[in-house]
Amino acid sequence: MKTLLQKIHVEEQHSFACRTYRTPQFETNWHKHEEYELILITEGHGTALIGDYVGEYQPGDIFLLGSGLPHWFRKTRKNSICSAVVLHFLKDVWGTAFLQMPEMKAIRKLLSSENNGISLQKKLQKNIANLLPQVEIATGIERICMLLNCLQQIADSKQYDVITKGFDTGSKNKENTVIEKIFTWSFNHFLENITLTEVAAVAGMSIPSFCRFFKRNIKKSYFDFLKELRIGHACKLLRETNNPILDICYASGYNSWANFSKQFKQVKQMAPGTYRRHFKSLDQD
């Protein structure tokens, strides 16, 4: 039986872990761990499932995940290569007294909400992207100072988005195996016309039981989750192709332009055409 709780290995000469994970080591299941996680995507594209957040990831993206926050980085294509620099540290890695020092107030506040997840943006994202690979190869006191530097920069900045807040599940191992089964099936079929009857059968539940189970564990309805998967796929096509937007609508699992447009605006707070123009303007800067 697959388990949700992951054990992080820390080398004897270090107090926290920082290493590059590349396919096949990059691939993990829906899991959580006691350690906080600072992850820089360095290669590949896919979908990030972090608590109740569903969104894309691509090279350069950085997430800070709180202790005990379930997550899964699922690559877009089965045969593609993904990699990330991943830093894992315990909240009391320096000792509890150190974290209570006045100079640690900002970092202490940053780490106070264990089940939160944030996505770094703009200059902060670039600064931490430069630091993390250096942490991986650093040794001694320099390594500890670099971790503090990363956390202080994040704590002092407002250039991040809170993507999930206070997320918690009381899921047991058996339930997490079912969650992973639902996720895997959904990734393989989200472009199709999915019914609750089908996905409930995958979970081995009645429709009412499945709806309650999914909402309790993922904190949203299954069709909201499905909507975010489809819109994430549409965003990728809008950025990476010149296909007509109507074609992208149909290629993302929708058979109605009105429904696609409405759901796209719900997820991205802008129309599909505006989203495409926004990313084209960024490429020209």
Q: What is the pLDDT of residues 116-173, one digit of tens each?
A: 999 999 999 999 999 999 999 999 999 999 999 999 999 999 999 999 988 876 655 6
Residue 95 is predicted with a pLDDT of: 86
Q: What is the pLDDT of residues 232-283, one digit of tens each?
A: 999 989 988 999 999 999 999 999 999 999 999 999 999 999 999 988 776 6
Q: Parallel, antiparallel, or unpaired for β 117-120 and 160-164?
A: antiparallel
Q: What's the helix, strand, coil split of the chain in %, to 5?
A: 45, 20, 35
Residue where a domain stops, chosen among 141, 164, 187? 164
CA atoms within 13 A on the CB side of 71: 29
The tokens of 24 are what?
């096949």
137 and 70 within one domain: yes
Residue 1 is predicted with a pLDDT of: 32
Q: Which residue has the higher pLDDT, 13 or 85?
A: 85
177 and 80 within one domain: no
Would the pLDDT of 54 be above 80?
yes
Residue 2 is predicted with a pLDDT of: 44
Backbone dihedral region of 157: left (phi > 0), alpha (psi from -120 to 50 degrees) or beta? Answer: beta
Q: What is the pLDDT of residues 173-218, one digit of tens each?
A: 667 789 889 999 999 999 999 999 999 999 999 999 999 999 998 8
210 and 139 within one domain: no
Q: What is the pLDDT of residues 95-120, one digit of tens each?
A: 889 999 999 999 999 998 777 999 99
| Count of domains observed in the chain | 2
DSSP conformation class of 10: -
Domain with 197 in it: what CATH number? Answer: 1.10.10.60
56 and 141 within one domain: yes
234 and 199 within one domain: yes
Q: What residues make up the domain containing 72?
A: 17-164
Mean pLDDT score, 60-64: 97
Residue 169 is predicted with a pLDDT of: 62
Q: What is the pTM of this model?
A: 0.85
279 and 240 within one domain: yes
Q: What is the mean pLDDT of the chain?
A: 91
Q: CA 239: distance to chain centroid?
A: 20
Residue 43 is predicted with a pLDDT of: 96
112 and 190 within one domain: no
Measured CA to CA, the distance from residue 141 to residue 150 in angstroms comes to: 14
